[in-house]
Amino acid sequence: MKMETQVGEGNGVSNSRLNSSDRSEDEKLLEPFRYIHQVPGKQIRAKLALAFNNWLKIPSDKLVAVGDITQMLHNASLLCLVVGSTHLEA
One-letter amino acid of 52: F
Q: 64 exposed, middle or buried (CB, 10 Å; 0-12, 13-18, 19+)?
A: middle
Contacts 24+ apart (CB under 8 A), 29-38: 32/79, 32/82, 32/83, 33/7, 33/75, 33/79, 34/7, 36/75, 36/78, 36/79, 37/5, 37/7, 37/75
> Is the whole model's pTM more than 0.85, yes or no?
no
- % of the chain with per-residue pLDDT over 90: 26
Model confidence at 61, pLDDT cuts 50, 70, 90, reads very high
